[in-house]
Chain A
Amino acid sequence: MAQYFHSVTLDKERCKGCTNCIKRCPTEAIRVRAGKAKIINERCIDCGECIRVCPYHAKKAITDPFDVIFSFKYKVALPAPSLYGQFKNIYDINVILTGLKRLGFDDVFEVAKAAEVVTLATKHLIAGNKVQKPAISSACPVIIRLIEVKYPNLIDNVVPIKSPMEVAARMAKRIISKNTGLPQKEIGVFFITPCAAKMTSTKAPMGSDCSFVDGVISMSEVYYKMIHDINKITHPENLSTAGMKGISWAKSGGESFALGDERAIAVDGIHNVIKVLEEMEDDKISDIDYVELQACTGGCVGGPLTVENNFIAKNRIMRIARMAPNIDLVTRFDDLCNWDISWTNPITYKPILNLDNDMVKAMQKMKEMENIYNSLPGLDCGSCGAPSCRALAEDIVRGFATETDCIFKLREQVRMLAREMMELEGRMPPPFRKDE
Chain B
Amino acid sequence: MAEATHIDVSYVAHLARIHLTEEETALFQGQLNQVLEYVEQLKELDVTGVEPTAHAMSLVNVLRADEPAPGLDHDTVVDNFPAVRDGQVVVPKIIDQS
A and B together in one complex: no
Q: Which residues of B contact A (CB under 8 A)?
A: none
Residue ranges of A at the interface with B (Cβ–Cβ < 8 Å): none
